[in-house]
Chains A and B, each alone.
Chain A
Amino acid sequence: MTAMETLLATSFERTFSDFVGYDEITKIKSSLFEQYHITLLSSIKDFAKFELITTQVLGLVGTPLIKKTLDQICKLESKSEHIVEIKDESLKDVILSSFDDDIKKQILNIAFDYPLTLWEIVSRTNIEPRVVSENMAYLILHGLLATIDLEDSEHNKKYYTTIDNFSVKMQDDAFCMYVTINEIANADPLKIIS
C-alpha cells in the first residue's frame, strides 16, 4: 500500500464507479470479497489486488478504464520529485480543509517523519484523545493518513502522513493543486500512476 494509493482511493472509487455499470461494479466487489475479504476501497489502497480482480471481471476493458479513471482525478507532474496534480475537486477540498484545521495539521505534522501508532500520536499532542481520534479517523478515511505494515509490540497499527506538501495556483477561473507525496514508507510512492 503506497501513500499515493491511499490518497487517491476515495476519489478513485467514486470516479471508477461512475464509469462502470452497476452489474460490473457489483461483480468486482463480490470477487474482491470472495478472494481477499476486502472492500472496493481497501482494494484500491492495495492496488495490485484491485487491478487483478478488475481485469478478471472486465477483461481487456479493465486496464484502459483504470487509466481513464486515474486521468480524471490526477496527473503525474514530476516522477523524480513525487509531484502530482490533483484534478478531483473533492480531494482538493479535503486537502485544503485538513491543512487549514489546527488539530488535523498538528496530527499530519506529528506523523510526517516516521510512522506512529494512534497512542503515540495522541501522546505528542496536548489534545483530548477523543478529539485526536476523531480527527485521525477523518484523515484516514480521506487518505491523508496511511497505514504501514508495521505494528508495535501490542500489534497497534502505525500511521504516516501521505502528503509532504502541496502548492496551489489560482488564476482567472483555474484552480490547480500540486501535491508532493511523502516517500517515507515506499521507495516508489507513485507506482499507481507511473
Chain B
Amino acid sequence: MPNSFSQLLCMDTIRDANNHLEPGQRTMLACENKTPESTVKAALTILKDHDYAIWIELHEHNLAEKIIGIYSDPIKRHILLLIDHPISKDEILNDCGASQSSAYRKFNELVQDGFILPVGYTKSEKRVRLYDKLISKAEFSVSAKVSQIRLKVNLSRLPKLPMREPIYP
C-alpha cells in the first residue's frame, strides 16, 4: 500500500489502473499512517473517462495542498509549462528564466515527486536523456477551507515497463 506522496503518484500505480480499468470505471486508493491508531491518511481516485484518458482526483486535504504547493511555485510551474514534448534537462534549465541552481533544484524535486519523467534519449551521437511531464492537464479549485484537484495523466509518456524504483537524474 502506498504511503507517500511520490508513491501515490507512482507510474506503476497509474499503469496498473490504466491496464485494469474500463472506460467510465474508477478505483480509489488510500494509504494509512503506520501508527497504533492507524487511520486513512490520504486518498485518491483514478478514473478512466470515455476517451480513455486517465484522471487522478485527490480527496485528501493535505495531499491536495502539497500538489497545489508544487503548482504555486513559479519556477516549478514555469518548468511544467515549458515541457510540451520530450526535452533535455539543459533546455529546460536554460529556458525557465530562473538561476541555474534554483532551476536545477526545482527540476530535481519535480522528478522526485513524479511530475517529470525520464522518457528516453536523443538519437544524436551524444546520448542525452529526455524528460516529459506526467500530468498533461491540471485543474484545481481552492478556498480557505477546501481544496479539490483533478489531474489528467499524459498516458503516452507512461513508461511501458514497471519501474518499481524511482529514477533520479
Interface residues, chain A, with chain B CB atoms under 8 Å away: 93, 96-97, 99-100, 105-106, 108-109, 112, 161, 164-175
Q: A100-B65, A100-B72, A175-B81 are in contact. Are A168 and B137 (CB under 8 A)?
A: no
Task: State the interface size on chain B (CB cutoff 8 A).
Answer: 21
- Residues in A neighbouring B144, C-beta threshold 8 A: 99, 105-106, 108-109, 112, 161
How far apart are the CA atoms of A96 and B65 in the complex, in Å?
11
CB closest residue in chain B, given A108: B144
What is the distance, in angstroms, from B117's C-beta to the closest C-beta of chain A? 17
Can you list 16 pairs linking A and B with CB atoms under 8 Å apart?
A96-B68, A109-B145, A161-B144, A165-B141, A165-B143, A166-B143, A167-B141, A168-B138, A168-B141, A168-B142, A169-B139, A170-B77, A171-B138, A172-B136, A173-B84, A175-B81
What is the distance, in angstroms, from B159's C-beta to the closest C-beta of chain A? 22
Q: Is B140's CB within 8 Å of the partner chain A?
A: yes
Structural contact, A166 and B136, CB atoms closer than 8 A: no
Q: Which of B71, B74, B136 contacts A168 (CB 8 A)?
A: B71
What is the distance, in angstroms, from A54's C-beta to the closest C-beta of chain B? 32
- Residues in A neighbouring B2, C-beta threshold 8 A: none
How far apart are the CA atoms of A170 and B72 in the complex, in Å?
12
- Which residues of B from 127 to 163 have beta carbons under 8 Å from A? 136-145
Contact mask B51-87 → A, CB, 8 Å, 1/0?
Answer: 0000000000000010011011010010011101000
How far apart are the CA atoms of A105 and B136 in the complex, in Å?
28
What is the distance, in angstroms, from A95's C-beta to the closest C-beta of chain B? 9
Q: A100-B68, A100-B69, A170-B81 are in contact. Are A93 and B141 (CB under 8 A)?
A: no
Structural contact, A170 and B137, CB atoms closer than 8 A: yes
Structural contact, A171 and B141, CB atoms closer than 8 A: no
CB closest residue in chain A, given B138: A170
How far apart are the CA atoms of A105 and B145 in the complex, in Å?
9
- Which of B137, B142, B144, B145 is packed against the most chain A CB atoms within 10 Å? B144
How far apart are the CA atoms of A171 and B139 in the complex, in Å?
9
- Residues in B neighbouring A169, C-beta threshold 8 A: 137-139
CB closest residue in chain A, given B82: A173
- Residues in B neighbouring A105, C-beta threshold 8 A: 144
Structural contact, B71 and A170, CB atoms closer than 8 A: yes
Q: Which of A100, A161, A166, A173 contacts B141 (CB 8 A)?
A: A166
- Residues in A neighbouring B68, C-beta threshold 8 A: 96, 99-100
CB closest residue in chain A, given B65: A100
CB closest residue in chain A, given B68: A100
How far apart are the CA atoms of A93 and B74 in the complex, in Å?
7
Given pairs A96-B68, A161-B144, A173-B81, 19 additional interface contacts (CB within 8 A): A96-B71, A96-B72, A100-B65, A100-B68, A106-B144, A108-B144, A109-B144, A109-B145, A112-B144, A165-B142, A165-B143, A166-B141, A167-B139, A167-B140, A168-B138, A169-B137, A170-B80, A170-B137, A171-B138
